[in-house]
Amino acid sequence: MNKAYKRFFMTMAALALVSAMTSLAAPFLLSFWARTDVEMNLKRVFLIISVLVLMLLLKIAIIFLRENFAKHFNIKNAKNIIEKILKLKYDAIISQGNMNLIERMAQAVNNMYIYMTGDAVQIWSSIITTIIILIAIFFDNYIIGLILLALIPINYLGYKALNAELKKRSQVMQTCTATGFQEILSAVNQTDYLKQCPDYDILLNQLKPSLNKIYGSMAQVNKYAQTSSSFISSLNSMLQTVCILLVMYNYLSGENQILPIVIYTIVLPLFFSNVSIITNINLNKNNLKVSQDFIAFLDSEKEKNSGEKIKSIETIEFDINEIRIGEQTFKTNINDKFMKGDIVWVQGKSGSGKSSLMKQLVKFRESAGISINDKSISSISNSCLRSLIDYIPQNNSIINGTIRDNLFLNKKHSIEKEEKLKESVLLSTILQNKNFDTMIMDMGANLSGGEKQKLAIARSLYSDAEVLIFDEVTANIDSESTALILNTIKSTCKNKIVFIISHEALPENYADKIIRIS
């Protein structure tokens, strides 16, 4: 617990306690005046109104303080969890799915926000308020006091059992909704294909299983939660009515005046409201536990980053006789050494393991048989290795933002590099009708396939990386763009080691060496 949160907690706890005491002031003043036969006048009415206004102002102050702190609290938690996601093992990210991980991140941040900035503070004021009301009612009517006292364990244990079961069902629901939405998103993201379709009846039918998965799992959780909570809340309402009837009975039998009835109509809802807050906090605490389990999972699947640091990459050597992709194993025989200035064509048919081999070079997966500067790749730290190697994937890494944002995606910006990029022949056609401040639409919708490739390649060519891996960078683009990209790579990378993965032939004599994967 950091200092900022401690200060926030102490301030909010103090305000919550004052607010709780203020909420009890009006009924207790009325009760005291009734017992001492004090005459009700405008001065006392004004005092009651002032107490109510103070209660309102305190609630508003709590909201403002909470939300002002929550902004920074949520941003910090979100950044921490996103960093943990980014540092996951490659296969853990692939198996979980990016959308699933981001959805769970959002839920985790929200659960921490609800509990840490609200419930953790409010529970103390609710407990104190409940105890004070119980003591006061016991002194007035011990039968009503016993009824209310019995309600506390009934609510607590009832909701505890409900929440335990709900946690299990919610975990299933989260998995179903995350995978369902991923399936839907993968379909509706295909804008160019779908817009040319005459209608969408078949697609909508194909999406039915995903929709059933999402909303069926939600319905199962909601039916259980609402049925169980309705039973407990109905029991509370019934007993609240019984308490009012007992007060009315005492009044009609001449034991009480009318004022205690008025006080009970204020105090009883306040009691049940605070009991409800305490039990709901347990539900939110379970949600927090789910989030903590998610964070624990992220920590358990974190990539190891131990190893020595190297200043540069002079040589890369492969001695590999098999490539593994999941459960599949491909036999191969790769034995070669590469140095600065080499352009290497990684050749092979689709699905042969070309990309998987190159991903081992950036340690997406553990690998034996690769040496850098005559040292095993396993002995070199991930962060050091990846500062010297850039992997440019087949799917273009284009984000929603400006052209500048895309060119410097996770790269340090400098005016010098920006000026070099502006002069790059690779970007000349893009900058004819765009500039560095031009916004790129979702999925790069206002860029051609060749322009997306050029942006992604330019980002790496002007980085400090000493090794570049281009994965099918000339696939699905015209011959003119292909020639421009390949010529730019050759002219720019004379002091780098370049691997070009392609199942298509490169121009004659373009590559110095070839890795053949059959």
How confident is the model over 77-126, as pLDDT tens digits? 999 999 999 999 988 888 888 888 888 899 899 988 888 888 877 777 78
Is the separation of the CB atoms in 284 and 111 below 8 Å?
yes
Q: Read off the pLDDT band of 58 (50, 70, 90).
A: confident
Within 8 A by CB and 6+ apart from 23, the residues are 55, 129, 270
Q: Is the pLDDT of residue 258 over 60?
A: no
Separation of alpha carbons 96 and 174, rounded Å: 12
**pLDDT on residue 298:** 94
Q: Is the pLDDT of residue 127 over 60?
A: yes
Separation of alpha carbons 472 and 504, rounded Å: 9
Radius of gyration of the chain (CA): 33
User: What are the backbone dihedrals phi and psi of residue 392, each rounded to the nearest 5 degrees, phi first?
Assistant: -105, 105
**In terms of pLDDT, which residue wins out, 77 or 43?**
77
pLDDT in tens, 135-166: 878 877 888 888 888 888 888 788 778 877 88
Alpha helices in 380-475 (DSSP H): 382-388, 403-407, 415-423, 449-461
Q: Read off the pLDDT band of 283 (50, 70, 90).
A: low
Separation of alpha carbons 450 and 403, rounded Å: 15
Is the separation of the CB atoms in 505 and 511 below 8 Å?
no
**pLDDT on residue 338:** 94
| C-beta atoms surrounding 430 within 10 Å | 20
- Please state the rounded mean pLDDT for residues 480-497: 89
pLDDT in tens, 6-27: 888 888 878 877 877 777 777 7
- Lowest-confidence region among 97-111, 222-236, 417-431: 222-236
Q: At what angle do helices 142-188 and 258-300 cross, to 10 degrees?
A: 40
- Please state the rounded mean pLDDT for residues 503-510: 85
Is the separation of the CB atoms in 301 and 295 below 8 Å?
no
Separation of alpha carbons 64 and 23, rounded Å: 19
**pLDDT on residue 85:** 93
Angle at 178 between CA 174 and CA 179, to 5 degrees: 120
Place of tokens 């092979």: 348
Q: Is the pLDDT of residue 249 over 80?
A: no
**pLDDT on residue 79:** 93
Picking from 96, 2, 74, the residue whose alpha carbon sits closest to that of residue 298 is: 96
Q: What percent of the chain has pLDDT over 90?
A: 19
Within 8 A by CB and 6+ apart from 364, the residues are 90
Query: What is this structure's pTM?
Result: 0.76
Query: Which two three-digit tokens encode residue 181?
Result: 């939405």
- Please state the rounded mean pLDDT for residues 423-449: 87
User: To 10 degrees, the CA torsion angle through 358, 363, 364, 365?
Assistant: 100
> Which range scores top for mean pLDDT: 163-177, 259-273, 309-323?
309-323
Q: Read off the pLDDT band of 196 (50, 70, 90).
A: low
**pLDDT on residue 310:** 92
- Lowest-confidence region among 105-114, 201-210, 475-484: 475-484
**pLDDT on residue 262:** 63
Picking from 187, 221, 222, 227, the residue whose alpha carbon sits closest to that of residue 207 is: 187
Separation of alpha carbons 487 and 497, rounded Å: 15
Q: What is the 3-state secondary structure (H, E, C) of 23-63?
A: HHHHHHHHHHHHHCCCCCCHHHHHHHHHHHHHHHHHHHHHH
Separation of alpha carbons 150 and 275, rounded Å: 12
Average pLDDT, the chain: 84
Exposed e or buried b per residue across 137-175, where buried means at least 16 C-beta atoms within 10 angstroms of its C-beta: beebbeebbebbeebbeebeebbeebbeebeebbeebbe
**pLDDT on residue 195:** 67
**pLDDT on residue 10:** 83
